């Protein structure tokens, strides 16, 4: 293995062990190997790394990779070393000795790839170091971070324009998974790459059918989905907790579906065994936390099911994207309910990270909820999220296109619900979640209702027109629309700034009509 390797394809086979390039990879690699600048927009999991790793190996010198994800550098470098690639990194987690040794290897021309955090390039010493070695290519990962109006701006990225000024002959490749057209333009402008060739991979996965159903009895819903549409198929079921992956796998096995759990708490041997069975066997179901899937390359995964809400649209897209790599019809199915919203909001509020981090997590969740609650085409919404224009306004291959949901005027029921929340707010010190609010609306004399005299409230029993499940749907949709919020570890319901406009009858609330029972459709009977 060495930098004299001259054929990109050979490197792909020999070093990485892959049969063929995927999608735009080959075009990108050829362009960069030939010395051209490139801007690459490709979904997460699409295979961006090879786009700069192979040119780094094929061209003479060291490939310099700028990445803000310091926490991942060690893993990336370890994975490359396991393939025999001479990779290293320099970042703030290293002690001085390690850094010195890495720098010496670079100067001696003993590295194929060197990963750097962007802030290092602000230091003259780093620029000085780089000029003492030979550079094959600059790769700027997460390039959308340079866009000031983007969601992830990092000031350190602005300094990267120096690379083109100081090393005009070294090709640069900027990569990102999310970019609106405007961000895309900003990348080329701020990095000073006016002549870069743009490679935009399509994000659409037309063979994947997207479906999101209201959660009632999730395990049972999953079972009938599998039995009716995917009997004998291989697939992945994602759950949030390790415990529920095990319970769900057991449940499926008891009901005649071969399933194994997969999560980081299992010992390495079990994990490896389950993973290799999944790759080898035809119809195994893996019930997993998100720990499963990184680097899994199985083309005939026929479905990906979510029993819990992913934290972001990026996560949802990446996980569902593991279905149908072979191009055959596949399903992305998710059951989603009120508890998901409450739980995730609580996780964000009680979680670590600073205010900015929490705000970002909340906005990711909001986009995910918007996708769940939309009455329009899910595919179109997904594509727009990633800054791509859908080919048609409705795709004909998602649940909302196949059976457009009806909406209804939920203004009055929303007012009833919000007024109940207002009443309870006045009771000092007491905090109540959705369960108590719904019991009040339904006029149920439970022990907890009696204990707090809630049967004495004027709103007691004013909501008998809806059943409990329907009320939960209303709460969930109001949470998703930002007309209601949850607070604290018990999931207390509270009003938002927007709630007032509903209570004051200044606005209408449109709600999505939900099937009383989870709909089971057989639209895929041709498979
Ligand atoms: P990204 O950086 O775009 O999120 P990665 O570069 O991490 O994606 O690649 C995602 C996965 O796809 C990795 O497991 C990688 O090994 C695999 N992969 C990438 N290119 C190919 C290919 N041409 N053939 C097979 N697997 C590939
Ligand atoms: Zn659609």
Q: How much is the average pLDDT of 47-76?
A: 93
Task: Give the residue whose CA is nearest to atom 24 of ligand 1.
Answer: 18
Residues whose CB is less than 8 angstroms from the CB of residue 198 and which lie 6 or more positions away in sequence, other chains included: 38, 39, 41, 184, 188
- Give the pair of three-digit tokens for residue 512: 């999505």
Q: Which atom of ligand 1 is nearest to the CA of 21?
A: 23
Name the residue with tokens 């009997």.
231
Q: For residue 295, how far is its CA from the centre of ligand 1 (angstroms)?
A: 7
- If you ran DSSP here, which 8-state letter would residue 349 be given? H
- Dump pLDDT digits (tens) for 349-403: 887 777 777 877 887 888 899 899 888 899 999 998 887 888 888 999 999 999 9
Q: For residue 404, how far is its CA from the centre of ligand 2 (angstroms)?
A: 9
What pLDDT, on the 0 to 100 scale, is given for residue 298? 87
What residues does ligand 1 touch, defined as CB less than 6 Å away? 18, 21-22, 25, 42, 44-50, 295, 297
> Which stretches of 23-154 are assigned E, i.e. beta strand?
38-41, 62-66, 87-90, 113-116, 135-140
Instruction: With a cut of 70, say whether residue 448 has pLDDT above it.
Output: yes
User: CA 265 to CA 263: how far, in whole Å?
Assistant: 5
The CA-based diameter of the chain, rounded to the nearest angstrom, is 84
Q: For residue 297, how far is its CA from the centre of ligand 1 (angstroms)?
A: 8
Mutate to test the pocket of ligand 1, among 48, 49, 115, 201 (most ligand atoms within 8 A of CB): 49
Instruction: With a cut of 80, say whether residue 180 has pLDDT above it.
Output: no
Q: How much is the average pLDDT of 195-215?
A: 93
Q: For residue 434, how far is its CA from the centre of ligand 2 (angstroms)?
A: 32
User: What is the Cα gyration radius of the chain?
Assistant: 26
Q: Which atom of ligand 1 is nearest to the CA of 295?
A: 14
Closest C-alpha to 480, from 355, 352, 309, 347: 309
Task: Give the residue whose CA is nearest to atom 27 of ligand 1.
Answer: 47
Instruction: With a cut of 90, say whether residue 416 has pLDDT above it.
Output: yes
- Dump pLDDT digits (tens) for 271-280: 999 999 999 9
User: CA 332 to CA 145: how far, in whole Å?
Assistant: 30
Q: For residue 301, how far is its CA from the centre of ligand 2 (angstroms)?
A: 21
Q: Residue 52: nearest ligand to its CA?
A: 1
Q: Residue 378: nearest ligand to its CA?
A: 2
User: CA 97 to CA 101: how far, in whole Å?
Assistant: 6
Cα 39–42–45 angle (5° rounding)? 140
- Dump pLDDT digits (tens) for 66-106: 998 887 888 889 999 999 999 999 988 889 999 999 999 99
Strand partners, 259: 285
- Give the pair of three-digit tokens for residue 420: 């109940």
pTM: 0.77
SS3 506: coil
Q: For residue 172, how far is its CA from the centre of ligand 1 (angstroms)?
A: 20
User: CA 15 to CA 9: how far, in whole Å?
Assistant: 10
Q: Residue 298: nearest ligand to its CA?
A: 1
Q: For residue 49, how far is its CA from the centre of ligand 2 (angstroms)?
A: 31
Q: How much is the average pLDDT of 45-72?
A: 93
User: CA 275 to CA 236: how far, in whole Å?
Assistant: 11
What pLDDT, on the 0 to 100 scale, is given for residue 518? 37
Secondary structure (H, E, C), 113-134? EEEECHHHHHCHHHHHHHHCCC
Q: For residue 370, how far is its CA from the centre of ligand 2 (angstroms)?
A: 15
Q: Residue 20: nearest ligand to its CA?
A: 1
- If you ran DSSP here, which 8-state letter would residue 209 be given? E
What pLDDT, on the 0 to 100 scale, is given for residue 354? 78
Q: For residue 49, how far is its CA from the centre of ligand 1 (angstroms)?
A: 7
Confidence of residue 3 (pLDDT cuts 50, 70, 90): very low
Stated as kind and residue range, the H or E segment containing 237 is strand 235-238
Q: Which atom of ligand 1 is nearest to the CA of 141?
A: 2
Q: Which atom of ligand 1 is nearest to the CA of 51?
A: 6
Confidence of residue 427 (pLDDT cuts 50, 70, 90): low
Q: For residue 45, how far is its CA from the centre of ligand 1 (angstroms)?
A: 6
Task: Give the residue whose CA is nearest to atom 12 of ligand 1.
Answer: 47
Kindly tell me the sign of the dihedral angle through the C-alpha atoms of 416, 422, 424, 426. negative
DSSP string, 266-298: S-HHHHHHHHHHHHHSSS-EEEE-TTS-TT---
User: In this predicted structure, which of 106-120, 138-152, 453-467 has the lowest mean pLDDT?
Assistant: 138-152
Q: For residue 472, how far is its CA from the centre of ligand 2 (angstroms)?
A: 26
Q: Which atom of ligand 1 is nearest to the CA of 297?
A: 26
Q: Residue 204: nearest ligand to its CA?
A: 2
User: CA 286 to CA 278: how far, in whole Å?
Assistant: 7
Query: In percent, how much of the chain has pLDDT > 90?
Result: 64
Q: Residue 379: nearest ligand to its CA?
A: 2
- Dump pLDDT digits (tens) for 489-504: 667 888 988 899 999 9
User: CA 35 to CA 170: how far, in whole Å?
Assistant: 7
Instruction: With a cut of 70, say whether residue 407 has pLDDT above it.
Output: yes
Contact criterion met (CB below 8 Å) for 471 and 442:
yes
Name the residue with tokens 């057991």.
250
- Give the pair of three-digit tokens for residue 281: 């066997």
Q: Which atom of ligand 1 is nearest to the CA of 16?
A: 16
Cα 10–11–15 angle (5° rounding)? 120
CB atoms closer than 10 angstroms to residue 515: 12
What pLDDT, on the 0 to 100 scale, is given for residue 523? 38
- Dump pLDDT digits (tens) for 301-319: 999 999 999 988 888 998 9
Name the residue with tokens 């108590």.
436
Mutate to test the pocket of ligand 1, among 9, 25, 47 (most ligand atoms within 8 A of CB): 47
Q: Which atom of ligand 1 is nearest to the CA of 42?
A: 3
SS3 69: coil
């Amino acid at each position: 293995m060495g930098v004299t390797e001259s054929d990109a394809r050979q490197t792909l086979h020999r070093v990485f062990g892959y049969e063929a390039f995927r999608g735009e990879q080959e075009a990108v690699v050829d362009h960069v190997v030939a010395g051209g600048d490139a801007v690459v927009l490709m979904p997460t999991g699409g295979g961006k790394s090879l786009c700069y790793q192979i040119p780094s190996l094929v061209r003479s010198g060291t490939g310099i990779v700028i990445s803000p994800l310091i926490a991942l550098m060690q893993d990336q470098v370890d994975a490359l070393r396991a393939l025999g690639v001479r990779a290293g990194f320099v970042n703030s987690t290293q002690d001085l000795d390690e850094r010195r040794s890495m720098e010496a290897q670079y100067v001696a021309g003993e590295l194929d790839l060197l990963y750097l955090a962007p802030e290092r390039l602000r230091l003259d010493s780093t620029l000085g170091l780089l000029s003492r070695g030979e550079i094959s290519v600059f790769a700027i990962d997460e390039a959308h971070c340079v866009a000031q109006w983007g969601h992830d701006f990092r000031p350190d990225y602005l300094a990267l324009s120096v690379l083109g000024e100081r090393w005009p002959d070294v090709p640069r490749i900027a990569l990102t998974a999310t970019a609106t057209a405007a961000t895309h333009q900003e990348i080329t402008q701020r990095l000073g790459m006016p002549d870069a060739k743009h490679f935009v991979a399509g994000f659409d996965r037309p063979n994947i059918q997207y479906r999101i159903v209201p959660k009632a009895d999730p395990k049972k819903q999953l079972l009938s989905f599998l039995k009716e549409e995917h009997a004998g198929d291989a697939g992945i079921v994602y759950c949030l907790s390790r415990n529920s992956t095990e319970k769900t796998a057991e449940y499926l096995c008891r009901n005649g579906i071969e399933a194994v759990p997969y999560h980081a708490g299992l010992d390495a041997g079990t994990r490896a065994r389950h993973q290799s069975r999944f790759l080898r066997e035809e119809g195994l179901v893996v019930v997993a936390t998100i720990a499963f899937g990184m680097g899994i390359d199985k083309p005939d995964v026929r479905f990906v099911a979510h029993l819990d809400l992913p934290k972001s649209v990026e996560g949802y897209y990446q996980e569902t994207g593991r279905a149908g790599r072979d191009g055959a019809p596949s399903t992305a199915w998710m059951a989603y309910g009120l508890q998901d919203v409450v739980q995730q909001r609580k996780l964000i509020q009680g979680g670590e990270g600073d205010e900015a981090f929490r705000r970002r997590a909340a906005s990711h969740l909001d986009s995910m909820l918007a996708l769940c609650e939309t009455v329009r085409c899910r595919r179109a919404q997904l594509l727009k999220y990633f800054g791509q224009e859908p080919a048609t306004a409705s795709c004909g291959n998602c649940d909302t296109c196949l059976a457009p949901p009806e909406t209804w005027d939920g203004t009055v029921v929303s007012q009833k619900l919000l007024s109940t929340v207002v009443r309870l707010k006045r009771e000092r010190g007491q905090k109540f979640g959705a369960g108590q609010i719904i019991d009040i609306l339904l006029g149920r004399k439970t022990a907890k209702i009696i204990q707090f005299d809630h049967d004495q409230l004027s709103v007691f029993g004013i909501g008998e027109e809806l059943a409990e499940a329907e009320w939960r749907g209303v709460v969930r949709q109001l949470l998703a629309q930002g007309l209601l919020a949850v607070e604290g570890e018990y999931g207390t319901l509270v009003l938002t700034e927007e709630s007032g406009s509903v209570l004051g009858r200044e606005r209408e609330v449109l709600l999505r009509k939900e099937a009383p029972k989870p709909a089971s459709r057989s639209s895929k009977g041709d498979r």
